[in-house]
Every structure is written in C-alpha cells, then in structure tokens.
Amino acid sequence: MRNLHRLAVASMLPTTPTRWYEMHAAVARDFALPESSMHGPDHWARVGRNGLELAAITGACPLTVGLFALVRHDMGETSSQVTVGTCWDADRLDLPRVGVEPESKYFSTQAGKQRVRQLTAKPASFHLLPLLACSSCNRQARIPL
C-alpha cells in the first residue's frame, strides 16, 4: 500500500512551492521510521536541494529531480543521461550524513564532480530556488528546498 501511495504522490507535479510541500508532507506521513532516519525527510530535503541546484547547471528536468528526492534513494549508479545522472549525484552529495566522503569518480555530471570538490558539511536550509525550466519538456517549476 505504501508504494501505491508513493506513486500517487509522484503523479502530482510539484510546479508550485505549496505543491512540493504538500507532496513532501504526504510522503513523510507515510514514512515509518523516525524523521531523523538516514533516508527520511531530512535527507529528502537535502537531496532535493542538491538536485535542483545541479539541475540549474546541468539542464536536467527539475520536476524529475524534485520527485526523485521524495521517492528514490538507494542503489544509485552513474548515468550519461543528464537527468538520471543529476538525480544520482544529488543523492551522493548527501553521503557525509553517514560519515562517507563522496568521491568524484562515482559522479555522473561535471557539476556533481565540481560540487564534491567544494563540498562542506552543513545542514540543509530551506529556500526558494529561482524558476527552473526543463529543457526537454518545457515545464517550469519553483520548488522550495
């Protein structure tokens, strides 16, 4: 049942800050572990922020990246497809939360590799990103993270 709920949540495009917060809250309500869990809401916020900042550089679809932050976090690989690679890189940038230092050789995008070099351990802060446009689907989103 949880997977069906996640799919239903993922089908709502987060095209406004309110929508993204609603989606985050819906998925968080369904999360069975403590909020501070290594793959919980705090992690989702950091992955979303990382991903949307990378998407602004890589041209990845910000809607896909924002949804990835809420529904997929393990067994990441590398990818030459810019949106998929941006998603995996966003997740890897949060490895310091579990005491693992990210290595640039495991990143898909040049932007991700550059962020690894600049990485400093700091908690996520919520802010409103500029309007982002997906180069492949022409949709725009302003997603708060």
Please compute the mean of the pLDDT values over residues 101-126 and round it to a whole number: 79
26 CB burial (10 A radius; 0-12, 13-18, 19+): middle
DSSP letter at 30? Answer: T
How far is residue 66 CA from its own chain's centroid?
Answer: 5
* Whether residue 54 has pLDDT greater than 90: yes
Higher pLDDT, 136 or 126: 136
Please compute the mean of the pLDDT values over residues 126-131 and round it to a whole number: 47
* Whether residue 56 has pLDDT greater than 80: yes
Rounded distance, CA 98 to CA 139, Å? 34
Q: Torsion angle, CA of 116/122/125/129, rounded to 10 degrees?
A: -20
Q: Write out the residue range of the structural domain in which residue 61 sits.
A: 2-141
23-41 pLDDT, tens digit per residue, is: 778 888 888 877 667 788 8
Whole-structure pTM value: 0.69
Domains identified in the chain, total number: 1
